[in-house]
Amino acid sequence: MIVDCAHYKDGHRSDDAPMSLEEAAARRDEGGFVWLGLFEPGEAEMNEVRRLFGVHELAVEDALNTHQRPKIEIYDKDQRLVILRTARYDDDAEAVEFGNIAVLLAPTFVITVRQGGASRLHEARQRLEQRPKLLAAGSSSALWAILDEVVDDYAPVVAGLERDVDEVEATVFSGSVAPTERIYSLRNEATNFYRAVHPLLGVVASVKRTTLARELRPYLRDVQDHLLMVEEEVAAQRDLLGTVLQANMAVLSVEQTRVSVQQNSTIEQLTVLATIFLPLTFITGFFGQNFGWLVHHIESFPAFVVYGIGGLAVPLALLFSWLRFRMPKTESGAKAGAAAG
């Protein structure tokens, strides 16, 4: 789909009326250059563009591929292909949405092929049209405007990631447990964004080195400086998220240790109760049997006290003595271990 198509000459747009592909291709011979903007075109439309503008077939193939990394390809002395990755941050989903821009560049034309909702070039075209001196430098000025727009759009992405990273960092280092899945997700988004930014450094450096128009070089250096700042900040965010993830695992380990200590204390209390009631259960079960000797010999109250109450008191006394005998050894062993440590 054609978004905009215009002919530029002597630093100005020739007309505001929409142009067909045939008319745009014909006006290349009038001097200046034609800027054709396409959004998610089909294969048939791109083949028509290739036929009318003489675009290299490999450039068309790369322009239709939505999973390209940032790169620059030189097919001959007159044609270049620049692939850019656009980005937009979704605060609600905490995710970076990526798009793709392929810039087919020649002295007489600029063809931009946009893929994905994260990309837009209307502002770049308007910004360039407001600078006649730069526009008069030729088709390379359009490439600068596109690069400048893409890199400027990286700043809100960095800020959005920074807010979420700071929030997770504050949670972890306050001693609370942050969702590990969220940290992994943010680190993955930062890594993907870094992969879109880092290769672009080489692309911008190559464009700056091969641009003949001197008036564009300071502007390209400005784009390069902004891109370096973005690359450094994204790399720092990715490293920080790695540190936060390790700290969160340590907090999780401490929390699990605390829960284990509580469980061990509960099990110890239950064990003591079971130990106390085990002999008592045995005695009561034994005397609960209705065999003859027991029935005929416990007929008076003194016999009940001796056999019944005494049968419970003696095991309790023995158990109490055994616990008193074991406890000092355990405590002395613990103190000796602590002293040795």
> What would the pLDDT profile of 202-252 be if each residue is shown by its tens digit?
999 999 988 878 899 999 999 999 999 999 999 999 999 988 888 877 777
Least confident of 28-37, 59-68, 87-96, 320-329: 320-329
Across the beta sheet with 2-9, the strand order is 12-13, 2-9, 33-39, 109-115, 95-106, 80-90, 71-74
pLDDT band at 197 (very low <50, low <70, confident <90, very high): very high
- Looking at the domain that runs over 2-252, which CATH code has it been given? 3.30.460.20
pLDDT for res 70: 93
First to last CA, the chain: 76
Residue 104 has pLDDT above 50, yes or no: yes
With H, G, I as helix, E, B as strand and everything else as coil, classify residue 291.
Answer: coil
- Give the pLDDT score at 113: 94
**How far apart, in whole angstroms, are the C-alpha atoms of residue 143 and residue 6?**
15
Which regions of the chain does DSSP assign to beta strands (E)? 2-9, 12-13, 33-39, 71-74, 80-90, 95-106, 109-115
- Residues 13-68: tens digit of each pLDDT: 887 777 888 988 888 888 899 999 999 999 999 999 999 999 989 999 999 988 78
Let me know: does 87 contact 158? Beta carbons within 8 Å: no
pLDDT-derived band of residue 201, with 50, 70 and 90 as boundaries?
Answer: very high
Domain residue ranges of the chain, discontinuous segments joined by +: 2-252, 269-330
Mean pLDDT, rounded, for 275-302: 69
- Contact (Cβ atoms closer than 8 angstroms) between residue 165 and residue 241: yes
- Cβ within 8 Å of residue 55, ≥6 positions away: 49, 79, 104, 111
Average pLDDT estimate for 163-191: 86
Query: pTM for the whole thing?
Result: 0.75
Q: Is 33:107 a contact under the CB 8 Å cutoff? A: yes
CB atoms within 10 A of CB 56: 17
Classify strands 80-90 and 95-106 as parallel, antiparallel or unpaired.
antiparallel
Report helix, strand or coil for 89: strand
More confident of the two residues 328 and 94: 94
CB within 8 A of 113, min separation 6: which ones? 38, 41, 46, 63, 64, 101, 102, 104
Alpha-carbon gap, residue 200 to 70, rounded angstroms: 6
Kindly indicate the confidence band of residue 334, based on its pLDDT and cuts at 50, 70 and 90.
Answer: very low
